[in-house]
Chain A
Amino acid sequence: MPQFPEDPEAERKRIIKQRNLMLGGLLGAMAVLFYFISIARIGG
């Protein structure tokens, strides 16, 4: 990954957008996981 690309601002926005997407995805996945854990615990 280039550390100082020609358009740093565009690169900065791209990285932050990717990070936010990853974080949002992980939080969503965690919410789904908690839902299924609850079902499994109640079911068990």
Chain B
Amino acid sequence: MSTASAQPIPLPTDWRDFLSLTKPRVMSLVIFTGLCGLLAAPVSVDPILGFTAILCIALGAGGSAALNQWWEADLDAKMKRTANRPLPAGRMERSSARDFGVILSVLSVLILGLACGWLAAGVLAFSIFYYAVIYTIWLKPRTPQNIVIGGGAGAFPPMIGWIAATGEITLMPVLLFAIIFFWTPPHFWALALFVETDYAKAGIPMMPVVAGRHSTRRQILVYAVLLLPLAMLPFWITGGAGVVYGASALVLSTIFLMLALRVAVFRQGVGEADMGPEKRLFRFSVFYLFALFAALVADRWIMG
């Protein structure tokens, strides 16, 4: 027990807190889509260089996540979901998070450049800048379209994976980028609809807070409608994906659209407070992305 005069000195930051700065759960999706971009590319990749590319994509994502938490520590303290993160909980100095984020970001770009070329490294550097500066610092607190803009940051990994493998930017990696870009708004707005009060408390202009639930639901539907033909494009274009991907994309995107329709239009018998359709759409959206990209890789391996 400490005496009244003894001021307890905070403990040093545990390594687990540094790890949690990198948002490991988000990173799993980043690694998966990056790996799919790498494996779906029409070239064979040296296993060591392929591993390095994925490692660097993960490190870059971790670095930008740390910078995001460094900048948003005050906002995180206001939301129940994020209040126990290392910075708002007081387990880490702000400058430690910033330095950790910068070191991870710089290392990831340098190693990727040395291993897989500077085009992939340049896109990775831009994706980190996009997430940490354009999204987190500039636009997230200023516009209810923040999720649309943030979707761009999450859409880079498969593109970087593809470029790391091939060394060039073609239509396919741009399409992979576009699929995640258009998938993100319905995915996050579905989540934002059932955690709306938390975002409102932190003063983040999330779409349901600013435009209302009705408008958010309509916009979810718009993106789900656009996502269907977009997800089919790799199957339709010459030199894109084959029938395994095409069939999977059609089935998955149709289910996604039906769940979005349930959220936006067919809510008869569902009370305004019942967020069942939104929760179902959110859960399926995670599965959708995993399954769609897995189908892309399976297609490349099966169809050649």
Given A3-B91, A41-B115, verify A16-B12 contact (CB < 8 Å): yes
Per-residue B-contact encoding for A1-41, CB less than 8 Å = 1, 0 else:
10111001001100110110010000000000100110111
Are the C-beta atoms of A15 and B12 separated by less than 8 Å? yes
Query: Which size class do B's interface residues fall under?
Result: 20 to 34
* Shortest CB distance A13–B (Å): 10
Contact residues, B59-103 vs A (CB, 8 A): 90-91
Given A37-B49, A37-B52, A44-B46, verify A12-B12 contact (CB < 8 Å): yes
Contacts of B13 in A (CB 8 A): 15, 19
A19 contact from B2, B12, B49, B111, Cβ within 8 A: B12
A40 contact from B9, B11, B16, B48, Cβ within 8 A: B48
B11 contact from A15, A36, A41, A43, Cβ within 8 A: A15
Are the C-beta atoms of B46 and A4 separated by less than 8 Å? no
- Asked whether any CB of chain A lies closer than 8 Å to the CB of B8, the reply is yes
Are the C-beta atoms of B52 and A8 separated by less than 8 Å? no
Main secondary structure of the interface of B (DSSP, over half): loop
Are the C-beta atoms of B12 and A44 separated by less than 8 Å? no
Given A3-B91, A15-B14, verify A8-B9 contact (CB < 8 Å): yes
- Asked whether any CB of chain A lies closer than 8 Å to the CB of B114, the reply is yes
- Asked whether any CB of chain A lies closer than 8 Å to the CB of B304, the reply is no
* Shortest CB distance B166–A (Å): 14
Q: How far is the CA of A19 from the CA of B8 in the complex (A)?
A: 21
- Asked whether any CB of chain A lies closer than 8 Å to the CB of B239, the reply is no
Q: How far is the CA of A43 from the CA of B115 in the complex (A)?
A: 12
* Shortest CB distance A39–B (Å): 7
Are the C-beta atoms of B48 and A3 separated by less than 8 Å? no
Given A37-B52, A44-B46, verify A11-B15 contact (CB < 8 Å): no
Per-residue A-contact encoding for B6-36, CB less than 8 Å = 1, 0 else:
0011111111100000000000000000000
Q: How far is the CA of A19 from the CA of B15 in the complex (A)?
A: 6
B: residues with CB less than 8 A from A are 2, 8-16, 46, 48-49, 52, 55, 90-91, 111, 114-115
Pull 15 A–B residue pairs with CB atoms less than 8 Å apart, ordered by A. Answer: A1-B14, A1-B16, A3-B11, A3-B90, A4-B8, A4-B11, A8-B8, A12-B11, A15-B11, A15-B13, A22-B15, A36-B48, A39-B48, A40-B46, A41-B49
Question: 13 extra interchain contacts, Cβ-Cβ under 8 A, other than A8-B8, A40-B46?
Answer: A3-B11, A3-B90, A12-B12, A15-B13, A15-B15, A18-B15, A19-B12, A19-B13, A33-B55, A33-B111, A40-B49, A40-B115, A41-B115
